[in-house]
Amino acid sequence: MQIHHLSETNSVLNHFLGQIRNVNVHNDSMRFRRNIERIGEIMAYELSKNLHYKEVEIQTPLGTKKTSEIKDQLVLCSILRAGLTLHMGFLNYFDSAQNGFVSAYRHHPNNDDYFDILVEYQAIADINDNYLLLLDPMLATGQSIVAVFNKLMERGTPKEIHIAVIIAAPEGIAYLEKHLPDSCHLWIASIDEKLNEHSYIVPGLGDAGDLAYGNKL
Ligand SMILES: O=P(O)(O)OC[C@H]1O[C@H](OP(=O)(O)OP(=O)(O)O)[C@H](O)[C@@H]1O
Ligand SMILES: O=c1cc[nH]c(=O)[nH]1
Ligand SMILES: [Mg+2]
């Protein structure tokens, strides 16, 4: 798997990452959502450097100019709920992408820390021969992404697969490296220290879905 770690160089990305982690601004869910979206925009821009382009000639009022446009048909697929705002960030830049939404949640059958992942709702464009971008802000154990990936592969074979996450635990990266094809690209804004006993990322940011959309019952 090819890993692209985006926050090694200082940029405004680190400023937004600081804000989504900061407990002192966690009461402002609009800021949290907007920062996730802005990070999505930055990640989309970085990822766009890896896509394929075609040459086009543009007519300006004063002449013509050769430039390039994205050639690839992208399918953005995010994992509900937390993936929604990240999805909007990517879609702000990839205007003509097709889209998909898949639900995945941690199911605790014994009311303890053991969980499995249930993937239920799936509404997604054709991924066959297209460029699949699978989006989720948090890569903790990696089980949600692998479970969704396996469901999606029943629908077709993309030309390229890019996975984009904002915060990743080393355990989740290792799990993806073990369970996903070597040809996948993994785009990460920030790599954290570890998982805690509840499989939450430390230092991480807490529960991304709750911070964006409120607590679940
Ligand atoms: O790598 P994993 O161990 O699978 O954990 C990561 C998953 O946890 C979060 O979703 P969550 O289950 O909290 O759902 P939500 O977005 O509805 O809050 C996150 O958005 C990932 O989908
Ligand atoms: O740290 C984590 C792990 C799973 N889901 C989250 O939202 N945060
Ligand atoms: Mg959650």
Cα angle, residue 154 at apex, residues 1 and 46 outer, rounded to 5°: 35
Kindly state if the Cβ of 79 falls inside 6 Å of ligand 1. Answer: yes
Residue 81: is the preceding peptide bond cis (ω within 30°)?
yes
Mutate to test the pocket of ligand 1, among 79, 107, 114 (most ligand atoms within 8 A of CB): 79
Could you identify the atom of ligand 2 that is nearest to the CA of residue 204? 1
Q: Domain with 117 in it: what CATH number? A: 3.40.50.2020
Provide the ipTM: 0.97
User: Which pLDDT score, from 0 to 100, does residue 115 have?
Assistant: 87
pLDDT (0 to 100) of residue 106:
84
Pocket lining: 78 vs ligand 1, CB cutoff 6 Å: no
Task: For ligand 1, say whether the CB of 101 is within 6 Å of any of its atoms.
Answer: no
DSSP notation for the chain: -EEEETTSS-SHHHHHHHHHH-GGGTT-HHHHHHHHHHHHHHHHHHHHTTS-EEEEEEE-SS-EEEEEEE-S-EEEEEEETTHHHHHHHHHHH-TT-EEEEEEEEEE-TTSSS--EEEEEEEEE---TTSEEEEE-SEESSSHHHHHHHHHHHTS---SEEEEEEEEE-HHHHHHHHHHS-TT-EEEEEEE-SEE-TTS-EESS-S-HHHHHH----
Q: Cβ(79) to ligand 2 under 6 A?
A: no
Predicted pLDDT of residue 113: 84
> How many domains does the chain fold into?
1
Could you tell me if the CB of 200 is within 6 A of ligand 2?
yes
98-150 pLDDT, tens per residue?
Answer: 999 999 988 889 988 888 999 999 999 999 999 999 999 999 999 999 999 99
Q: How far is the CA of 134 from the centre of ligand 1 (A)?
A: 13
138 close to ligand 2 (CB < 6 Angstrom)? yes
* pLDDT score for 133: 98
Largest CA distance in the chain: 70
Supply the pLDDT for residue 183: 97
Q: 127: domain range? A: 2-213
Residue 4: what pLDDT? 98
CB within 8 Å of 27: residues ≥ 6 apart: none
Ordered per-residue pLDDT tens for the chain, 217 residues: 999 999 999 999 999 999 999 999 999 999 999 999 999 999 999 999 999 999 999 999 999 999 999 999 999 999 999 999 999 999 999 999 999 999 998 888 998 888 899 999 999 999 999 999 999 999 999 999 999 999 999 999 999 999 999 999 999 999 999 999 999 999 999 999 999 999 999 999 999 999 999 998 8
Report the separation in Å between the CA atom of 205 and the middle of ligand 2, taken as the mean of its atom positions.
8
Calculate how far, in angstroms, residue 105's C-alpha sits from the geometric centre of ligand 1.
6
Q: pLDDT value at position 217?
A: 82
Phi and psi (nearest 5°) for 212?
Answer: -80, -40
